[in-house]
Amino acid sequence: MALKVKIPNRLHHAAWVTRDQGQTRRFYEELIGLPLAATWAETRNDGTGPSHEYVHTFFTLGDGGALAFFQHADQDTNPIELSSPGHLAMECDGATQQGIKERLEGAGYKPMLIDHGYCTSLYVKDPNNLSLEFTVDAANLTEINAWQAGIAHDELKRWLSGDHTPNNTIRPH
């Protein structure tokens, strides 16, 4: 008997690692036709080591979902294989995300919740080591998307030129 629960609405994004965001942008935007919708320069420190700098780009699909790519600033000294499985992110509302979190915890999983500012994400690995994300978009996502659309190309150029200063001013610290 299937559980009567709310399910995610759609694929929010699928994400992979890239070694060259410039080449990736040219391929997906100029050849495939997917617009570069956002460039998030980030610094993350999980408390277990030094800060980690990366840039995260999103290319929009027709249904509102996206293809996303990470480039890490330390990729030359700490390479990540391009065959990495990346992750799948599914968009849902807050109640659905909370229900998923509770069911996972009840089954012994330890999901991680992160507020990115533009969305709040629940992360977990499935039994096959596939990374999953269940994301609730910020209430003002339309205005955030408009802001990012206006700066995405310049921010990617800035990051690729070596300025890895974070630009996510809406992420809680």
pLDDT per position as a tens digit, 36-49: 999 999 988 777 76
> What amino acid is encoded at 94 in this protein?
G
Q: Please give the model's pTM, rounded to 2 decimal places.
A: 0.72
Instruction: Please tell me the distance from the alpha carbon of residue 67 to that of residue 15, in angstroms, as a whole number.
Output: 6
pLDDT for the residue numbered 1: 52
Backbone angles phi, psi at 94, to 5 degrees: -60, -40
The confidence band for 146, taking pLDDT boundaries of 50, 70 and 90, is very high
Indicate whether 2 pLDDT > 70: no
Superfamily classification of domain 10-160 = 2,3-Dihydroxybiphenyl 1,2-Dioxygenase, domain 1 (3.10.180.10)
The confidence band for 3, taking pLDDT boundaries of 50, 70 and 90, is low
pLDDT for the residue numbered 128: 62
What mean pLDDT do residues 16-41 have?
90
